[in-house]
Amino acid sequence: MKRIILLAVAVLLAFHGVAAASPCDDWNILEKEIRDGLIDRASAGNRITLLHRLLLDTYGTTAANSAKVFPVAGYDYRAIGGRHGNDYRPSGYSFYQGVRHGGHPAHDIFVRDRNQDFLDDATGKPVAIVSFTDGVIIATNPDWEYPSPIRGGKYVWIFNPAEERYYYYAHLSSVTVAPGQTVTAGDPIGFLGRTGKNAYPRRSPTHLHFMVLSYADGRMLPRNPYRELVATKRDKLKNPH
């Protein structure tokens, strides 16, 4: 039965112009089309719906672990910007508006980097970014150069099928994972940097932009993970290289 469902979804994806060779590769391609305004909202929503089903069918048993790890290795909730997470502002955000979206449905997590060299001032080492949850890598942007208008710079998207949530990690200096790769909470996915249109200028302190979206009938809805971030502990970094 599962093979029949996968085949049916693949046929629908092909009808909508999606190759369906891999749901992660297809999600990666679609994310760039949405980000860059190359696809209309209705078409993008239809393809997101089909790919969401295919991701669930393909990776539905990948993320059974409910444990979460703070996404910036060596730090904890005290590095979150704002007061008690009040920098989270979902109003005006739309996933389908790409780089033109409004709001700030995310938390910025700041690190010790006064000279802005991407190295932790206390350790002198790069700051590793780790997966907050179990999941599968569905999109990455491993290349970014100033003055590119891409707001996230180098970034990673991870899908957790158990939660049906999409996790976004932006402003990295390097990405060390690729679409289709499965991860567990605490696995390194890259290193923090200052990439992205607004993160690159010196006026911006070095930080991770961390966003969570949930899927509902084609909509990609912001979810505030502040309480979950507070509940996590510092990660003991696994395989940093």
Domain count of the fold of the chain: 2
41 Cβ contact list (under 8 Å, min separation 6): 96
The pLDDT of residue 235: 60
Q: Let me know whether 154 and 42 are in one domain.
A: no
- pLDDT tens-digit readout, 192-236: 999 999 999 999 999 999 999 999 999 999 999 999 999 996 665
Residue 144 lies in a domain: yes
Q: Is residue 26 scored above 80 in pLDDT? A: yes
Please check whether residues 227 and 129 belong to one and the same domain: yes
Read off the pLDDT of residues 121-138 as tens digits, 9 standing for 90 and up: 999 999 999 999 999 999
- pLDDT at 27 > cutoff 60: yes
The pLDDT assigned to 240 comes to: 43
Is pLDDT at 85 greater than 60 in this prediction?
yes
Cα separation of 199 and 209, whole Å?
A: 9
Per-residue pLDDT, 116: 97
14 vs 88: which has the higher pLDDT: 88
* Measured distance CA(172)–CA(21) in Å, rounded: 28
pTM, full prediction: 0.89
Q: What is the extent of the structural domain holding 128?
A: 77-231
**129 within domain boundaries:** yes
Same domain, 92 and 32: no
Q: Are 90 and 21 found together in one domain?
A: no
Please state, for a pLDDT cut of 70, what percent of the chain lies above it: 86
9 has pLDDT over 50:
no
26 within a domain of the structure (yes/no): yes
* Same domain, residue pair 100 and 183: yes
Same domain, 203 and 128: yes
The CATH number given to whatever domain includes residue 208 is 2.70.70.10
Average pLDDT estimate for 64-93? 93
Do 151 and 211 fall within a single domain? yes
Is the residue at 241 inside a domain? no
Q: Residue 88 falls within a domain, yes or no?
A: yes
Output the average pLDDT for the chain.
90
Would 45 be classed as within a structural domain? yes
Pair 163, 213 in one domain: yes
pLDDT score, position 63: 62
| For the chain, percent of residues with pLDDT exceeding 90 | 83
Asked, for residue 43, whether it belongs to a domain, the answer is yes
* Pair 54, 149 in one domain: no
Q: Is 69 inside any structural domain? A: no
Shared domain check, 81 and 47: no
pLDDT at 32: 98
Task: Tell me: do 16 and 111 sit in the same domain.
Answer: no
Do 84 and 33 share a structural domain?
A: no
Q: Does position 8 have pLDDT exceeding 70, yes or no?
A: no
What amino acid occupies position 4? I
The residue count of the chain comes to: 241
Peptide bond into 222 cis (omega under 30): no
Q: State the pLDDT at residue 67.
A: 87
DSSP for 42-99? HHHHHHHHHHHHHHHHHHTTT--------SBTT--GGGBSSSTTTT-B-TT--GGGGG
pLDDT digits (tens, 9 = 90+) for 141-191: 999 999 999 999 999 999 999 999 999 999 999 999 999 999 999 999 999
